């Protein structure tokens, strides 16, 4: 059966999960800088060399964190059949579900997003751009968005708005604004534009 | 005479300039991390304790760098009487002059912007947001922009677009796109919006 994984693949995913969970626990307990690969491997009960095979550097856990969040958004949207709405609704829902993952665990977001920014990954790494660009492109093709919109650049603009909003939101205690509402405002502005 | 500075103030500005120049030289020669406060003070021929009075930490040079660039933009726009155009033109010119400062010295931009991002200053620090918000607000008041635009949030969106564009532009060799043209596209999108 095609979606039944072989024993080796299951074992591989299980080790990967264990390492990821151990890394997240340690980063949350002590911060990204303080958590070491040795400790992560030890807590996951995996040999050090094996740990490095799965995650060649600590920053790889941040990448995995981002990827898992995007997968989670896709799952939520699929469960809601949210892929079927207008392009604007899909963009709105995509950002809202991402935002919910930040607000559901602010401490984790502070620790991990801050590290991701400092390592440059969140901003250089274009995964979110590409996903948002894809949603914009669908709206362009259906005629909902202007035909002369550059989807890639629109994806970058929306991702930039998202990361900046989250950075500001984690940058002050207590939280300086309601993140989902703020992102909604950003999206409205990008959809409607500034010009009267 | 009010705009003639006293000797003490002139001396203070001169020391500040010397420290700033020494810091920029060393950061360009060796990178932000490698340049130390001791070396900066020595090259500026200023006592270490004095240097710390002017710039309490190395990151303060990055802040000064950003501030001087914004001042330079203001000077260029004043010389061109660019403050008198439409709000859209002023936003366009503001971003273009900022972009020119990046393209005129790509090496400096790579070294300094990268450090500014990693230290979180460029993204947390709202000076550019505020300046752009001011320009948006003028357009809102003149009726050029929609009256329900949140100027502060628009300033943040445009600043986010600017920093992300510069980050991408410094993130690849050779430069992956024409920065002024790219920023122009970002601004157009923000002005006109995505929706047909």
Q: In chain A, what are the domain boundaries? A: 7-54, 59-192
pLDDT score, position B157? 94
State the virtual CA torsion across A150, A152, A158, A164 in degrees, nearest 10: -130
3 state DSSP class of B136: helix
pLDDT in tens, chain B (196 residues): 456 778 899 999 999 999 999 999 999 999 898 999 999 999 999 999 999 999 999 989 988 998 898 899 999 999 998 778 899 999 999 999 999 999 998 988 888 887 887 776 555 567 889 999 999 999 999 999 999 999 999 999 999 999 889 888 998 889 999 999 999 999 999 999 999 7
Among the partner-chain residues A120, A165, A193, the one whose CB lies closest to the CB of B192 is: A193
Q: How does pLDDT run across A147-156, given as a tens digit for each residue? A: 999 999 999 9
Best mutation site among B125, B183, B189 for testing chain A: the one with the most A CBs within 10 Å? B189
Q: Tokens representing A55?
A: 């995650």
Rounded-to-5 percentages of helix, strand, coil across chain B: 75, 0, 25
User: What is the 8-class DSSP label of residue B148?
Assistant: T
Residues of B in contact with A32 (CB under 8 A): none
State the virtual CA torsion across B181, B182, B184, B186 in degrees, nearest 10: 170
Q: How does pLDDT run across A86-120, given as a tens digit for each residue? A: 999 999 999 999 999 999 989 888 888 878 877 76
Q: How does pLDDT run across B65-119, given as a tens digit for each residue? A: 988 988 999 999 999 987 788 999 999 999 999 999 999 989 888 888 878 877 7
Q: Tokens representing A32?
A: 């990204």
- Residues of chain A numbered 102-121 and touching chain B (CB < 8 Å): 114, 117-118, 120
Give CA–CA dist A19/A17, Å, rounded: 5
The CATH code of the domain at A59-192 is 1.10.357.10
pLDDT score, position B4? 73
Question: Count of CB atoms within 10 A of residue B139's CB?
Answer: 24
Residues of A in contact with B196 (CB under 8 A): 143-147
Q: What percentage of residues in chain A have a pLDDT greater than 90?
A: 67
DSSP A131-154: HHHHHHHHHHHTTSB-TT--HHHH
Give CA–CA dist A25/B144, Å, rounded: 51
Question: Do residue A192 and residue B160 have CB atoms under 8 angstroms apart?
Answer: no
Best mutation site among B118, B119, B157, B159 for testing chain A: the one with the most A CBs within 10 Å? B157
Residues of A in contact with B189 (CB under 8 A): 149-150, 153-154, 157, 190, 193
The residue in chain A having the minimum alpha-carbon distance to the alpha carbon of residue B188 is A193
pLDDT score, position A124? 56
The CATH code of the domain at A7-54 is 1.10.10.60
Q: What percentage of residues in chain B have a pLDDT greater than 90?
A: 68
Among the partner-chain residues B136, B150, B167, the one whose CB lies closest to the CB of A185 is: B150
Among the partner-chain residues B123, B144, B171, the one whose CB lies closest to the CB of A167 is: B123
- Name the average pLDDT for chain A: 90
């Amino acid at each position: 059966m095609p979606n039944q994984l072989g024993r080796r693949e299951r074992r591989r995913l299980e080790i990967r999960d264990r390492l990821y969970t151990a890394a997240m626990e340690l980063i949350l307990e002590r911060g990204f800088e303080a958590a070491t690969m040795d400790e992560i491997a030890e807590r996951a009960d995996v040999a050090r060399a094996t740990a490095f095979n799965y995650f060649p550097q600590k920053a790889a856990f941040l990448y995995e964190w981002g990827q898992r969040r995007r997968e989670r958004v896709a799952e939520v949207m699929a469960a809601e059949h949210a892929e079927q709405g207008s392009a604007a609704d899909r963009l709105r829902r995509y950002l809202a579900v991402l935002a919910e993952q930040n607000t559901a665990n602010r401490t984790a977001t502070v620790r991990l997003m801050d590290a991701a920014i400092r390592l440059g990954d969140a901003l250089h790494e274009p995964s979110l751009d590409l996903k948002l660009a894809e949603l914009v492109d669908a709206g362009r093709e259906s005629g909902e968005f202007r035909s002369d919109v550059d989807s890639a650049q629109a994806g970058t603009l929306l991702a930039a708005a998202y990361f900046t909003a989250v950075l500001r939101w984690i940058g002050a205690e207590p939280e300086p604004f309601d993140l989902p509402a703020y992102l909604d405002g950003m999206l409205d502005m990008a959809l409607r534009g500034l010009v009267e």
